[in-house]
């Protein structure tokens, strides 16, 4: 009788352990799927520059023709990414996608040699 009870106890403990570990594995799998989804979303947002609090250097604010000239001159001298954005009724030439103010300030020191009116606008949260 004692052997039967001990075997039953061992069997029930094993069943409990296997059930618990299976549930834990399913929960970890769901959690990993959520993490993967969030990482993919962050990657897409980073690629499209949709994550806020990034610093950029503004070179120009005015009409489209002059903005094209400024960006062509800039691209012939520097390698930071540059874009022209439309801010009604004018265009802006923006340079860089810096993570912090220190990186943006370092770039600004280099860029100001050729573009003395360049400055760093305060980043907007999206």
Burial of 31 (0-12, 13-18, 19+ CB in 10 A): exposed
- Its pTM stands at 0.59
Q: Assign residue 75 the CATH number of its domain.
A: 3.30.70
Is residue 55 within 8 A of residue 103, CB to CB? The reply is yes
Q: Are 27 and 66 contained in the same domain? A: no
pLDDT in tens, 61-85: 999 999 999 999 999 999 999 999 9
In this prediction, residue 63 carries a pLDDT of 94
Question: Mean pLDDT of successive 10-residue segments in the chain (126 residues)?
Answer: 70 72 73 84 70 84 94 94 92 92 95 95 71
Long-range contacts of 102-108 (CB under 8 A, 24+ apart): 103/55, 104/55, 104/56, 104/57, 107/57, 107/80, 108/57
Q: Domain count of the chain?
A: 2
- Parent domain of 86: 55-111
Q: How confident is the model at residue 14, as a pLDDT? A: 77
For the chain, count helices (H), then strands (E).
3, 3
In-domain check, residue 74 = yes
Report pLDDT for 29.
77
Task: Give the span between the Cα atoms of 10 and 29, in whole angstroms.
Answer: 28
Q: Indicate if 92 and 75 belong to the same structural domain.
A: yes
Same domain, 44 and 59: no
pLDDT given for residue 50 in this prediction? 57
Residue 116 placed within a domain: no
* pLDDT value of position 2: 66
Find tokens 């691209």 and name the residue: 75
Q: What is the pLDDT of residue 34?
A: 84
pLDDT of residue 66: 95
Residue 119 lies in a domain: no
């Amino acid at each position: 009788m004692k052997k039967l009870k001990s075997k039953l106890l061992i069997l029930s403990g094993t069943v409990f352990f296997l059930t618990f570990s299976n549930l834990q594995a399913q929960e970890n799998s769901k959690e990993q799927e959520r993490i993967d989804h969030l990482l993919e979303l962050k990657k897409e947002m980073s690629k499209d520059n949709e994550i806020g609090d990034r610093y950029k250097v503004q070179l120009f604010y005015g009409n489209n023709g002059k903005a094209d000239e400024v960006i062509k001159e800039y691209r012939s001298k520097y390698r930071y990414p540059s874009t022209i954005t439309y801010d009604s009724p004018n265009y802006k030439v923006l340079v860089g996608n810096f993570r912090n103010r220190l990186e943006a300030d370092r770039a600004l020191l280099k860029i100001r040699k050729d573009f003395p009116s360049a400055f760093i606008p305060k980043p907007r949260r999206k």
